[in-house]
Structure 1
Amino acid sequence: MCRWLAYSGTPIRLEELLYEPRFSLIDQSMHSRLGVETTNGDGVGVGWYGVDAPPLAEPALFRGTGPAWSDLNLRELARSTVSPLFLAHIRASTGTPVQQTNCHPFRHGNWLWLHNGCIREFARLKRDLVLAIDPALYPSIAGSTDSEVMFYLALTYGLRDRPALAVERMAGLVEYLGRAHGVENPLQMTVATTDGDRVWCFRYSSEGHSRSLFYSTEMSALVALYPENANLRRLSEETRLVVSEPLGELEGAWQPVPESSYGVIQKGDDELGRFEPVEP
């Protein structure tokens, strides 16, 4: 499987999360503690929005096929790039080739998407899933992963207008076709997607035992717990982080995302809701 993070808030250098924490995403590429695999070396990617980017601007994207821990280009980019909103991903392939077009995040217009998990027996379901994608979107598919097909199904089902419902419809189709093809528990996913303004995160699996996912405690509560921590004091109240596994051991900093749920990171109050697939 894979490890990922989604950050939104005070602009920071990418390396502050990718490299500097004790259990940074780069450290997790070699020593994952909660993932299915300890090592995630089948590619790395980061998508980010500029500090002064206009609304709905297309994000920048870096994707490499080598292990994250040895990617010197990523190291250079991370120490010099500042962003208020970015998604990052380290890949452990579930069977599709290690190539740039299969690395996350995936981008379409101003949207980014990343995924940890799988569509089980994807080869058996792929034809029916792909045929459900809007023909106008189909030419944009560049890779061969189940994750990218999930993204374009969500776009087909209205991701740009009603993101949570679109992902529920995508999940419902996967489960519907899984049963039709005799595939038990066809969907396992944690997903992050963003339009550059808000971030939606999802945790769901057909068997009800989804991959790990955590969100950061509100900044005001953390500052009250650790008033001497200068790094926390410089972050705004709007700052939020969602991760496959915690980046450190600061007590009280991380809360588990409930099973079968989704969250929205946005200006003002964030949201947490129940995720329920909608079948065709």
Structure 2
Amino acid sequence: MCRWLAYSGSPVLLEELLYAPENSLVMQSKHAKLGATAVNGDGFGIGWYGSTSTPGLFLSTEPAWNDRNLRELSAQITVDRVFAHVRASTGGAVQRSNCHPFRHQNWLWMHNGLIAKFSLVRRELMLAIDPVLFPLVEGSTDSEIMFYLAVSFGLAQDPPAAVARMVEFVEDVGRRAGVEYPIQMTVATTDGSTTWAFRYSSRGKSRTLFHSTDVTTLRRQYPDNPALHDVDDDSRLIVSEPLGDLVGAWQEVPESTCVIVRPGVEEELVPFKP
């Protein structure tokens, strides 16, 4: 499977997220602790927002631990919102167009999991994508198909409803094809202002997902930890697995839940039950 993180908050150097933590995302690319696979070396990607509404992308088929360009860029790029993903293919080719995050206009999307027996249902799923969007599909992954289905179903207007409709459709197509548990996912998407993250699977046994504890709470617990005083109160991380072992810093996202992170607003956890 894959590992990913979504950060929003006060500006930080990218290397502080990707390399500095004890269990950083780059470390997870070769030694994941909670993933379905320990090694996630089939490429990586980062998506971040700069001076325009369209996010930048850096995608590579290299393993994250072995990419010198990632190391160089991470020491120079300061971000206040970033998606980062390390990939373990579930069958799709190792090519740049299959690396996450995926982008459409101001939206980013990344996924850990799979559509079960994707080859059986791929054609019907692809034909449900809006014809205007269909030419934009570049790769061969189930993750990208999920993204463009969600965009087709109204992601820009109501993200939770669009993702729920996407899941309902995938499950319906899969079950008609004889697939008992059609979808497994932790998904994150953002429009550059708000982040939505989803933990869901047809079987009810989803891949791991965690969100960071409120920074003000951690400051009270660890008054002598300088890192906690360098970020804004509304800085948040959503991750496939914790980046460190600071007690109380991470909370597991419950099964069938959507996490919503808006600037200046306490994060919200709501049921997600398509």
User: What CA deviation, in whole Å up to 9, does each residue of 1:2-49 have, x standing for no partner?
Assistant: 000000000101110100111000000111000011111000100001
Alignment counterpart, residue 221 of structure 2, candidates 201, 214, 225: 225
User: What CA deviation, in whole Å up to 9, does each residue of 1:58-103 have, x standing for no partner?
Assistant: 0000000011100011111111000100000000000010000000
2:147 counterpart residue number: 151
- Is 1:2–2:18 an aligned residue pair? no
Distance in 2 of aligned mates of 1:259 and 1:23: 23
User: What is the correspondence of 1:1-280 to structure 2 with a 5 Å cutoff?
Assistant: 1-50=1-50, 53-54=51-52, 57-267=53-263, 268-277=265-274
Distance in 2 of aligned mates of 1:122 and 1:161: 28
Q: 1:192 offset after TM fit, Å? A: 0.5
- The alignment-based identity, stated in percent, is 56
- Matched residue type, 1:270: E
- Matched residue type, 1:96: G
Distance in 1 of aligned mates of 2:125 and 2:19: 37
Q: How many residues align?
A: 273
SS where residue 196 of structure 2 aligns?
strand
Distance in 2 of aligned mates of 1:185 and 1:11: 40
Distance in 2 of aligned mates of 1:251 and 1:138: 46
TM-score (norm: length of structure 1) = 0.97
Distance in 2 of aligned mates of 1:232 and 1:150: 36
SS where residue 80 of structure 1 aligns?
coil
Q: 1:269 offset after TM fit, Å? A: 2.4
Distance in 2 of aligned mates of 1:78 and 1:183: 42
- Matched residue type, 1:36: A
Distance in 2 of aligned mates of 1:153 and 1:4: 21
Distance in 1 of aligned mates of 2:211 and 2:268: 12
Distance in 2 of aligned mates of 1:156 and 1:80: 36
Q: Which runs of 5+ in 1 are unaligned?
A: none
User: What CA deviation, in whole Å up to 9, does each residue of 1:195-218 have, x standing for no partner?
Assistant: 000000000000000000000000
Distance in 2 of aligned mates of 1:164 and 1:11: 27
Distance in 2 of aligned mates of 1:209 and 1:81: 37
- Matched residue type, 1:17: L
Q: 1:155 offset after TM fit, Å? A: 0.2
Distance in 2 of aligned mates of 1:220 and 1:43: 35
Distance in 2 of aligned mates of 1:231 and 1:251: 15
SS where residue 75 of structure 2 aligns?
helix
Q: 1:271 offset after TM fit, Å? A: 1.5
Q: Which runs of 5+ in 2 are unaligned?
A: none
TM-score (norm: length of structure 2) = 0.99
- Matched residue type, 2:26: I
Distance in 2 of aligned mates of 1:180 and 1:204: 20
Q: CA RMSD in A?
A: 0.6
